[in-house]
Structure 1
């Protein structure tokens, strides 16, 4: 199968490149922001037409959550309008689309794990543009699969795990928010799940959740990173109010993974096991 992956230099794209490997049996095209500039929406379909993919894994996004508040137009171009162009290409050429979305489409006011049918209500520009992207994909792509994920980290790129290790190496004391609840996602686990879905050939249209199992706060995550790395740093638990950011974050965005497990037989590792695996690969 001809498969084109957007966001090839990002965390998920990099994991997909490594896991697909040379012997996947597929014709793979990995596209970064230079090869496929998503903000230039007018040329997206022309570029895709050069490769004629049968499946597009749309992993690219504008993910600078705080910066999006001051760059709403650019965030909308990349997260919404580019997704619409890709979905329209899929309609015109009969291609399938597997796209990555986010827990930021929720308002964070829930008190129980969020299913795919839970009410949405994004509270940031990033979340709003990703939700518009989801709607465009559902409108135009005849065969679409949207995976919402959360708190992504990897050995590739910049992420919370790497930032915590750096800060805890440089400082004796740090503060981490303790009242935002969810579950991290090791990008390698998400990439493994995506490849599993593709290889089973059991395509199902719809939205699916994927993050690692378990329920933690960012503070809990930081403590686990410190302890597993054997670092000597005091971590203070603070409320969100003590760590103001340009963009609001959902306070509770734990995703219910029942649907993806039942639909595709996807295995979802426990968050700490995945953190151990990631740190072992660094």
Structure 2
């Protein structure tokens, strides 16, 4: 037969185990529903064909015990049509007790799919979109639950700037040569600013190079058409027969312009290739 001290010790141990079990059961039963939100969307990369968005999904755990997010399902909707989707069914995001955790999910979409959803992108510098989806959580007692997430914003649609050869005129002529003025328009059709870091140009007539040069950086605001006036001095020996005839008579002459523009948008993740441009203009005395 057990002695009283042994019985008392066993009773204390059993009481402690029972209280701990009760606390654990109460903790499990008293489960609070976690929350999920899209806390940010950033552009990872973008070009003229597609864009990749990084979607930050934050899951908050208000409970006194750790939880796991089991799956993430997100759709990117344009005009109520899904144009991109990401599904991670094996994602195991651990969220500590009374804490938050963030997972970053990539969404890649093609602009041709956006155009199909909208009918056309011709009139859009940016398009509204919605990130819709859910986070699946595994909770004790409650089992698997789905937490809805939603985020709305706009996505810039990048377009290549355009260069136009507007005019060429003869400013002056003397024994040393001639001074021409070239007028170019550079149009920025985007919803963001860009810098024309450099513009290299060369002028020719009848296949003969007349000269050229480089322009320094020019800032062009979103939606702006910037007019550039470029002076060009041509020596008498480089004028060529056609220009010489024009200067000495009334014949018109055709001038050819070759230009290369190095463009840097204020959208840091997009760096287009240098823009090449060729054009001709008739020049008269």
TM-score range, shorter chain: under 0.3
Larger Rg: 2
Q: Which has the higher strand share?
A: 2
* TM-score (structure 1 length as normaliser): 0.23
Higher RCO structure, 1 or 2 (CA under 8 Å, sep 6+):
1
